[in-house]
A and B are shown apart, each in its own frame.
Chain A
Amino acid sequence: MKSTAVVRKTAKGEEEIQTRAHGLERNLRYVLILVDGTSNVEQLVAKGAGMNDVEGSLARLAADGYVDIEGFSPGDTGHVIDIGEAKATLIGIARELLGSEAGKVISKIEAAPDSREGLQEVISQCKKVVRLVIDEQKAEALMARCGAVLNSL
């Protein structure tokens, strides 16, 4: 999923907002509400900074037919990346979000076990570290964006 891809509600998405006919989970519904037809993935992740894994939720909404994401097909949710690629992406996200304060997080990610579960555990620890000593909002954004990467493992 490209971060610049614009996200639009489908007819099913509009219907769900109006009628709750499909009984969408609450967190997915919140993400669906954010979708305004003009914001791209990156902007929606920023808007939903307080929510868990906005990018992963968008992928699920697309897979279930509630939204269309430019250049993204539901099959993409199954896109598999390897651990090394995931670590590099996570480090990039940490650098982008935390700037000069990313050092501790980067070293934790580098030292993480080469497994999805290991990386998840380390990212969860990193979120706590960021919440405690850097910035609470950045911690949520880090968790959301890294969660999306881990979902594609």
Chain B
Amino acid sequence: MSGASGIYNIDIAQIFSFSAILVMAYCLWLVVSLKANVPGGIIGKRWNLLMGLVMVFTVGYLTTPFFSALPENVLRLIVGVIFLFGALYVVLTVKLIYQVIQELTE
């Protein structure tokens, strides 16, 4: 979906991309600022990994406005990397939630 010209010449994909960057930047701020509350322990160890992954996502997401200028093979690589780390993030989060539940219910 494209506007006719000028300021309206932004497609829906760009809107999603910029929104994603904003949300990920907020997520980065969140993990960094909350780190002080989770210095160690089961959550603290995982938190460092999650923080690293959010940083990777932030860098990856920042490349999305330049996707149209990137060669297709580079583009596919970036998307593949983001998908892989996204999957790792989900695994880590699910395992962490399960560990927390175990701790609280034992």
Contacts and interface: CB of A to CB of B under 8 A. Distances in A.
Contacts of A136: 41-42
A133 B20 CA distance: 29
Nearest to B38: A133
Contacts, number: 29
Contacts of A108: none
Grouping DSSP codes into helix (H, G, I), strand (E, B) and loop, the A interface class, with mixed when no group exceeds half, is helix
Counting chain B residues whose Cβ lies within 8 A of the other chain, the interface size class is: 10 to 19
A133 B39 contact: yes
B35 to A, nearest CB: 11
A101 to B, nearest CB: 6
A135 B40 CA distance: 5
Top 3 closest pairs, chain A to chain B, by CB: A133-B41, A135-B40, A133-B38
Interface of A: 101, 128, 130-136, 139
17 contacts: A128-B104, A130-B41, A131-B41, A132-B41, A132-B42, A132-B43, A132-B100, A132-B103, A133-B37, A133-B38, A133-B39, A133-B40, A134-B40, A134-B41, A134-B44, A135-B41, A136-B41
